[in-house]
Chain A
Amino acid sequence: MALSLLRTGTLAIMRQTPQTRLFAPLQLQRCTPYLLRLMSNKSSDPEKPVNVQLPKKKSNLAADKTPISWKNLGISVVVFGILLNVLWYLKKLRKEEIEKNKVLSIGKAAIGGDFELVDTSKKVVSNKDFAGKWVLIYFGFTHCPDICPEELEKMALVVDNIDKERSASVFQPLFISVDPERDTPELIAKYTADFHKRLMGLTGTVDQIKDVCKKYRIYYSAGPKEDGDYIVDHTIIMYLLNPKGEFQQYYGRNKTAAEITKDVLVRMAMYKE
């Protein structure tokens, strides 16, 4: 009921004022030439073209204003659409940025922490001793058959590469044992010397190793013993800590020495106190 009233109302207005055609549907717009012709029949000079016979004001309204307004309306719709899209996109970007920061802050809090271990001269060493230095840590054990030596050789290459670019005083490679029962400071000293003279080896009591591995999310588990010998299954990973001792990055077995070097150097260059 209300709709039909509205419709007839619109048509009535249309007949009275041509301007309202702006808002009329396109189909009604097509009636305009017919209406104009009807009006032109009453004029005195039938020779002249239809639109010229109309009063100038009306002609302007019919021929100029209407098409421009449709164009304007079209442009407005497009611009409005673009603006909406841009707004929506900006909102999405902001949301993503917030999500990203959330993940980063979670990562920061989850890996790392204070530790106290023993170095190869049986001196107690804690994370505070590495303050101001970038630290690259590998967790392993000296009786390791294949993976640890491969990873430590890779680490030795990284140390050589970084020492070429940076002072040795800002970068410290570490080896932390996951086999505290067998890996004595003497054994570790001999072992790390095989790989790099700058590689510092750390071990500790069973509890100390348990604590550091828990904080750095390192899984380790000694396999079955055979004549006292066994293999320790453990997480294969390298960690990079910044001069504040905070976790910066991890490098899995798939990363090459060149890739690790590049990443460490970039992080050193980008680091702000």
Chain B
Amino acid sequence: MAVPDKERRQKCWDARDAYWKCLDDGSGERDQREDACKQLKQLLSDSCPPVWVKHFDRRYDYLKYKEKIEKHGYEQPHGVNSQM
């Protein structure tokens, strides 16, 4: 896979931002939102190398998780004893 040049990189990032915004603005569960943004996901896949798409998906989850922790604090997963 050739390295995306500046123009291709920008196109890829624009597609990523559009897809992420669609996910953010959508309502319902994650599956429903992803389904509603299918077209933009296709555009993302067309604009970026496959490993980048995977990386962006992971990054989106990471950023959401980070945001949640910053807003609501860390929640102990079930089964973990909170009394140390």
Q: Please tell me if A180 contacts chain B, counting CB pairs below 8 Å.
A: no
**Contact flag A194-B1 (CB < 8 Å), given A146-B59, A227-B50:** no
Q: Are A229 and B59 in contact (CB under 8 A)?
A: no
The DSSP consensus for interface residues of chain A is: loop
Q: Are A190 and B55 in contact (CB under 8 A)?
A: no
**Contact flag A194-B6 (CB < 8 Å), given A226-B51, A227-B50:** yes
Cβ-neighbour of B51 out of A146, A149, A194, A231 (below 8 A): A231
Number of A-B contacts (CB under 8 A): 38
Distance, CA A146 to CA B59, complexed state (A): 10
Q: Please tell me if A250 contacts chain B, counting CB pairs below 8 Å.
A: no
Q: Please tell me if B30 contacts chain A, counting CB pairs below 8 Å.
A: no
Inside 8 A of B52's CB, which chain A residues have their CB?
A: 145, 231
How many residues on chain A are close to B (CB under 8 Å)? 16
Q: Are A229 and B9 in contact (CB under 8 A)?
A: no
Q: Please tell me if B75 contacts chain A, counting CB pairs below 8 Å.
A: no
Range of interface residues on B (Cβ < 8 Å): 10 to 19
Cβ-neighbour of B3 out of A146, A190, A231 (below 8 A): A190
Chain A 171-195 interface mask (CB, 8 Å, partner B; 1/0)? 0000000000000000100110010
Q: Which residue of B lies closest to A143 (CB)?
A: B3
Distance, CA A194 to CA B3, complexed state (A): 12
Inside 8 A of B55's CB, which chain A residues have their CB?
A: 145-146, 231
Inside 8 A of A223's CB, which chain B residues have their CB?
A: 51
Q: Separation in Å of the A154 CB from the closest CB of chain B?
A: 15
* CB neighbors of A among B7-33 (8 A): 9, 12-13
Q: Are A226 and B50 in contact (CB under 8 A)?
A: yes
Q: Are B3 and A230 in contact (CB under 8 A)?
A: no
Distance, CA A231 to CA B57, complexed state (A): 14
Inside 8 A of A149's CB, which chain B residues have their CB?
A: 9
Distance, CA A191 to CA B2, complexed state (A): 11
- B: which residues have CB within 8 A of A? 1, 3, 5-6, 9, 12-13, 48-52, 54-56, 59
Known: A194-B6, A231-B51, A231-B52. 18 other contacts (CB 8 A): A142-B3, A143-B1, A143-B3, A143-B49, A145-B48, A145-B51, A145-B55, A146-B13, A146-B55, A146-B59, A149-B9, A190-B3, A191-B3, A194-B5, A226-B50, A228-B1, A229-B1, A230-B51
